[in-house]
Amino acid sequence: MNLTAIIGYLAAFGTTASFLPQAVKTIQTKDTSGISLPMYILFTLGTLLWLIYGIMEPSLPVAVANAITLIFAATILVYKIKYK
Amino acid sequence: MNLTAIIGYLAAFGTTASFLPQAVKTIQTKDTSGISLPMYILFTLGTLLWLIYGIMEPSLPVAVANAITLIFAATILVYKIKYK
């Protein structure tokens, strides 16, 4: 694996894993006042489209990374709607 | 452009543009209590790595989308550190 691919995998790990601490914090505190509803509507839709793109292309890394991110993003979106 | 590419571009637009309303809200309200610091550290680093990947690959869409996202994410991170 060359350096560019390694950087790509690290990038994918970072942007995917980053939503886990946000989801945990939101579930634990239910504090969603500072969280933007339009952000999580757009981001959840975008992640769903990335998942569909990954399945159609097909690109397993894109599909897997976005399936995981979709779970986190949708969870935060549901909490934002429920506890706004 | 085929359907898969169209879905890919819509996905890229959604996940990139989503951080704009969050950045605007955070700048206007300075309400960062519900925002996760580890999320924005990881996400900003991940986006920076995606930008480097896009330049090295080279992939102009990846580089451009992540350059824009990096500006939004870094702004939110700075506000989170300043107003936590």
The 8-class DSSP code of residue A1 comes to: -
The Cα of B52 is separated from the nearest Cα of chain A by a number of Å equal to 8
**B28–A contact, CB cutoff 8 A:** no
pLDDT value of residue B14? 97
- The whole-angstrom separation of Cα A38 and Cα A44 is 10
Sign of CA dihedral B56, B59, B61, B62: negative
Q: What is the pLDDT of residue B55?
A: 97
DSSP at A35: S
Give the nearest chain B residue to A51 (CA atoms): B11
Would you state the pLDDT for residue A74? 98
- The continuous run of DSSP H or E covering B40 comes out as helix B37-56
CB B78 within 8 A of CB B41: no
- Percentage of chain B beyond pLDDT 90 is 98
Q: Exposed, middle or buried: residue A19 (CB in 10 Å: 0-12, 13-18, 19+)?
A: buried
Residue spans of alpha helices (H) in chain A? 3-17, 19-29, 37-56, 60-82
Q: At residue B1, does pLDDT exceed 90?
A: no
**How many structural domains comprise chain B?**
1
Give the pLDDT of residue A29: 97
Query: What is the structure's pLDDT at B84?
Result: 79
Range of the domain at A58: 3-82
Q: Which residues of chain A have pLDDT under 70?
A: none
What does pLDDT average to over chain B?
A: 96
Which chain B residues have a beta carbon less than 8 Å from that of A36?
21-22, 24-26
CATH number of the domain encompassing residue A54: 1.20.1280.290
ipTM for the predicted complex: 0.93
Given a cut of 90, is residue B32 above it in pLDDT? yes
